[in-house]
Amino acid sequence: MRLKLFQDSVMKTLCYFAAVMTVAVCLGIILYLVIKGFDQLSPDFIMTEPNPTFSQDNAGGILTPIVGTLLLTFIGTLLAFPWGLSSALYYTFYAKKGKLRDTLSTAIDILAGVPTIVIAIFGLAVFTNPFWGFLSSRVEGVEGISKAFGRSFWVAGITMGIMILPYIIKTCAEALKAVPPSYIEASYALGADKRQSLLRVVIPAAKNGIITSVILGMGRIVGDTAIVWLTLGGTLRMTGLQPWYSPENWPSTLQNTGSTLTSYIFYTSPAGEGNMPSVAFGASLVLIVIIIVLHIITDYISSLGKLRDEE
């Protein structure tokens, strides 16, 4: 018995060690970014537009990348969330168990292993079809060929939505499955039909899981580089009618190209051609702050839910 307890405590210590490692890695990454990027931070850096140049002194700020990140996240989530949730509802509560569901869940697992650059190329290939010209814009003046440009906030947002769709379906389905069947039965017993039961009982009960899945999806959009690089053009600035921020130009802004924080980091880091590592670290720091804010918001939302549950 004593030996067993000793073994237990050794193993437990190892686990604590693992947890400490996790925290250390996280803090290490954030600290590293803070040290490397803090000097860069200033209202100017955040509020001015970037300049396309190889010279660090003229690099400008990261206003448009920040806006781009938010725009893409918004479009992608807006597309993938309702689509994914309703698919998950169908697969969980309507589809018959069997081959179809198995195949789909396998396909989703597999798609998770496909690098996003493949999906990016897919998006680019599809959306350069002139049929989708309204999402970006037609390329004018090339003789004999009619093509769409295939790069814009719409295109990138939709491609992002497609990229995260499988995750949203999968994680939502998991959250829905975790709702005890007794809830649904109770709802039926009160005379509700399936639709009402799903909308009023199951979805609220699975709310936290669903929120988590959306947040995970958003995280993937915020963090993706390849799709942005190919389908958003990686142009640093907003390229629609200027000024891009005045409301009458929004449609044009969305139809045109831009950048996100990740594509900006890619461009300015040694991995791209930009050659401005300290700017890249500054932008990384801002990106991390955005992600942390995203987390705080969701923690707050889910804590609201919990409070109500406990009452």
Partner 1 sequence: MKSNKRMVKDNIFKHILLVSAVLGGLMIAFIFVFIFIKAWGVLSVSGLGFITETGFSEQIRDSYYLAAGEQTWFFGTKGLFIATLLTTAGALLLAVPLGIGTAVIVCEFSHRAIARMLSSVIRLLASIPSIIYGLIGLMVVVPYIKDSFISPELQIQYLYDPIMRMQLSGKSLLAGIIVLGIMIMPILTALTVDAIKAVPKSYKEAGLGLGISHWRVVTKILLPAAKSGLFAGIILAAGRGIGEAIALSMVSGGISNVPQVAHGGVFFLTPVLTLASAIVNKSEAMSVAAIESALFSCGVVLILTSMLFSLSTRLVERAVKMK
Partner 2 sequence: MTLSNISIAVKNVDSWYGEKQVLKNINMEIEKKSITALIGPSACGKTTFLKSLNRINDLVKGFKISGIISVGGQDIYKDIKKASDLMFLRQKMGMVFQIPNPFPMSIYKNLALPFSEKNNLSSRKRIDEVVVKCLKDVHLYDEVKERLDASALDLSGGQQQRLCIARCLTITPEIILFDEPCSSLDPISTLKIEDLLRELKEQYTLVIVTHNLEQAKRIADRVGFFYQGELIEYSAKDKFFTRPRHELTQKYLAGKF
Partner 3 sequence: MKDLKTKVIVLTMMLCFVLVGTASAAEGIKVNVDGSALNMDVAPVMQEGRVLVPFRFIAENLGGIVSWDAGSQTVKIVTADKNVSLPVGQTTATVNGTAQTLDVPATVVDGRTLVPVRFVAESLGADVSWDDATQTVNVKYFSGITGTLKVGGSTTVLPVAQASADALMKLSPGLSVTVTGGGSGVGTSGAKDGTLNIGMQSSDLKQEDKAAGLVPVSVGRDAIVVIVNKANTVEALTREQIKKIFSGEIKNWQDVGGKNAAIVLHTREAGSGTLDGFNSLIMKKEAEIDAIAEPHASNPLVKQAVANDENAIGFLSLGHLDTSVKGIVAEGVVASEANAATGQYPFVRNLWLSTKGTPSGQAAKFINFVRSVKGQQILASEDFIPLR
Instruction: Specify the DSSP element, H or E, that contains 11.
Output: helix 2-37
Asked whether the CA dihedral 186, 188, 191, 192 is positive or negative, the reply is positive
Q: How far is the CB of 173 from partner 2 (least distance, A)?
A: 21
Asked if residue 70 binds partner 1 (CB under 8 A), the reply is no
Asked if residue 307 binds partner 2 (CB under 8 A), the reply is no
* Binding residues among 247-286 for partner 3 as defined by CB under 8 A: 256-257, 267, 269-275, 277
Compute the chain's Rg from CA coordinates.
23
When the beta carbons of 47 and 186 are compared against partner 2, the nearer one is: 186
Asked if residue 115 binds partner 3 (CB under 8 A), the reply is no
Four-CA torsion 301, 305, 306, 310, nearest 10 degrees: 150
CA-to-CA distance for 139 and 63, rounded, in angstroms?
A: 28
* Residues sharing a CB contact under 8 Å with residue 6, sequence separation 6 or more, in sequence order: none
Asked if residue 243 binds partner 3 (CB under 8 A), the reply is no
Asked if residue 150 binds partner 3 (CB under 8 A), the reply is yes
* Binding residues among 46-75 for partner 3 as defined by CB under 8 A: 51-55
Stretch that binds partner 1, among 28-36, 48-56, 59-67, 238-246 (CB under 8 A): 28-36
Q: How far is the CB of 222 from partner 3 (least distance, A)?
A: 20
Torsional class of 276: left (φ above 0), alpha (ψ -120 to 50), beta (otherwise): beta
When the beta carbons of 5 and 145 are compared against partner 2, the nearer one is: 5
When the beta carbons of 217 and 234 are compared against partner 3, the nearer one is: 234
Contacts 24+ apart (CB under 8 A), 103-110: 104/169, 105/170, 107/166, 108/166, 108/167, 108/169, 108/170
Stretch that binds partner 1, among 26-34, 51-59, 128-136, 147-155 (CB under 8 A): 26-34
* Binding residues among 2-61 for partner 2 as defined by CB under 8 A: 2-5
Identify the CA nearest to 298 among candidates 77, 46, 76. 77
CA-to-CA distance for 144 and 73, rounded, in angstroms?
A: 36
Q: How far is the CB of 5 from partner 2 (least distance, A)?
A: 6
* Residues sharing a CB contact under 8 Å with residue 16, sequence separation 6 or more, in sequence order: none
Q: Which residue has the tokens 């569901």?
A: 101
When the beta carbons of 2 and 97 are compared against partner 2, the nearer one is: 2
Q: How far is the CB of 225 from partner 1 (least distance, A)?
A: 5
Angle, vertex CA 263, rays to CA 140 and CA 54, nearest 5: 85
Asked if residue 32 binds partner 3 (CB under 8 A), the reply is no
* Residues sharing a CB contact under 8 Å with residue 145, sequence separation 6 or more, in sequence order: 139
When the beta carbons of 115 and 141 are compared against partner 1, the nearer one is: 115
Asked if residue 248 binds partner 1 (CB under 8 A), the reply is no
Asked if residue 79 binds partner 1 (CB under 8 A), the reply is no
- Which parts of this chain interact with partner 3 (CB under 8 A)? 51-55, 128, 137, 139-143, 145-151, 229-230, 233-237, 239-242, 256-257, 267, 269-275, 277
